[in-house]
Structures are given as C-alpha cells and as structure tokens.
C-alpha cells in the first residue's frame, strides 16, 4: 500500500468517525436554529460528507456517504415509531441520497473548482454546500414518495393523497435553513481544510 493511499484511508476513517459522532450526539448532527425561527433546525451531516468528497474525491466521498446512510438505516430499524424512521427503513432512501452527496459534490469540485482562483473556489465551495443540502433533501423526498406509493404505506399522519406536496411542505422549511448553513459551513471549513490537504498531498 502506497503512502498516498494510506493517507486517503486514514482521512476517510476520520470522516467516518466524525459522522458516527454526529449521529450519536444530536446537536453535532442537527443544528438547532430556534434563536432565529422557532422550531427550525438544520441537519449538517451532509456537509461532512460533502467535505469528504471535496477533499478526497468522489470515490471516498461516496464511501463516507454510504456509512452515513447505513447508520440512518440501522437507526430507523432500531428506533421505529416515527414517520422519519419509517422513511429510512427503506434502504434505498437511507443510502442513495447520502452516497450521491459525497459522489456528486466530489465530481463537481474536481470538474469546476479544483484548479480555480481562490475567490472563485471560495464562492464555489459555498454553492456546493447548497447543492449538498438539495441533493440530500430532494433525493430523500423523491425516494420516500416512490417507496410509500409502491408499498402502499399507511401510518398515522401520512395523507392518502398528495403525498409529494405533503412531504415538500414538511421538509421545505428546514431545507431553506440547511442551504444557508451549508453555504456558510462548507465555504468556511473547506477554505481551511483544502490548503492543509494540498500540502499533505491530498488532491482528490
């Protein structure tokens, strides 16, 4: 195993460990925004996955995303009884959007930002943070609608008709805050970590 591969495996393991801690400690994985709007919160684990794709490349970003999705699936199975857990008991819903966050954000960074100027890269990182939130939210909503429809899912609180509109109404409020948080976090943390990664020979 080359020294470069060893570095990638070690950093991937660190990202996986961060995701694990974020899943275990709620306020590290979900940022409460009640100081701004009552009831608002922003899931921030997708930004950890996005940063792994930016720093390590799409393959390793997808691995970190797979780990997050696997934890979501296990958590849904072991803590049933809510609509959220019901959504993520479908392994496709739990896994695919999270894998795509790491994969697509890594691909987009390599294609459009890897060798750009500092100013362009800074703005681009913020945009990738927004896209990470969108990929996760849209993916979960679409796959939930497909899964609930195909399985004829019945659960207290789930409407029989207009399921898509109902889900969009539930997630859109927090999704707006997630996009704002994603823009800020990925831009700030990415700008700190990228130079360190480059000096260490980590270039996606």
pLDDT tens readout for residues 151-171: 766 655 566 677 778 788 778
Q: Quick one: pLDDT at residue 86?
A: 87
d(CA 167, CA 60): 31
Answering whether pTM is above 0.85, one says: yes
Q: Quick one: pLDDT at residue 36?
A: 47
Q: Is pLDDT of 148 > 70? A: yes
Structural contact between residues 145 and 163, judged by C-beta atoms closer than 8 angstroms: yes
Higher pLDDT, residue 174 or 69: 69
Residue-wise pLDDT for 87-140, tens only, equals 899 999 999 999 999 999 999 999 999 999 999 999 999 999 999 999 999 999
What percentage of the chain has pLDDT greater than the value 70? 90
Who contacts 65 (Cβ-Cβ below 8 Å, separation ≥6)? 49, 52, 53, 98, 99, 100, 101, 102, 103
Residue-wise pLDDT for 6-51, tens only, equals 999 999 999 999 999 999 998 899 887 654 444 556 899 999 999 9
d(CA 177, CA 179): 5
Q: Quick one: pLDDT at residue 27?
A: 84
Domains in the chain, please, with CATH? 3-199 (1.10.1760.20)
Nearest to 90 by CA among 168, 135, 145: 145
Residue-wise pLDDT for 171-186, tens only, equals 888 899 999 999 999 9
Nearest to 48 by CA among 185, 192, 149: 185
d(CA 129, CA 45): 11
Higher pLDDT, residue 144 or 15: 15
């Amino acid at each position: 195993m080359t020294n470069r591969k060893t570095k990638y495996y070690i950093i991937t393991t660190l990202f996986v460990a961060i995701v694990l801690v974020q899943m275990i400690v709620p306020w590290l994985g979900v940022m409460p925004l009640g100081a701004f709007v009552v009831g608002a919160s922003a899931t921030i684990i997708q930004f950890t996955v996005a940063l792994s794709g930016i720093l390590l490349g799409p393959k390793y970003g997808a691995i970190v995303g797979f780990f997050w999705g696997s934890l979501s699936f296990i958590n849904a199975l072991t803590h049933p009884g809510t609509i959220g857990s019901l959504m993520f008991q479908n392994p496709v819903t739990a896994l695919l959007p999270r894998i795509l966050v790491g994969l697509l954000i890594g691909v987009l960074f390599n294609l459009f930002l890897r060798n750009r100027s500092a100013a362009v890269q800074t703005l681009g990182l913020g945009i990738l943070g927004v896209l990470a939130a969108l990929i996760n939210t849209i993916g979960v909503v679409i796959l939930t609608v497909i899964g609930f429809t195909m399985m004829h899912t019945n659960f207290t609180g789930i409407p029989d008709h207009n399921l898509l509109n109902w889900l969009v109404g539930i997630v859109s409020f927090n999704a707006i805050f997630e996009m704002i948080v994603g823009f800020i976090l990925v831009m700030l943390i990415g700008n700190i970590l990228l130079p360190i990664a480059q000096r260490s020979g980590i270039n996606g």
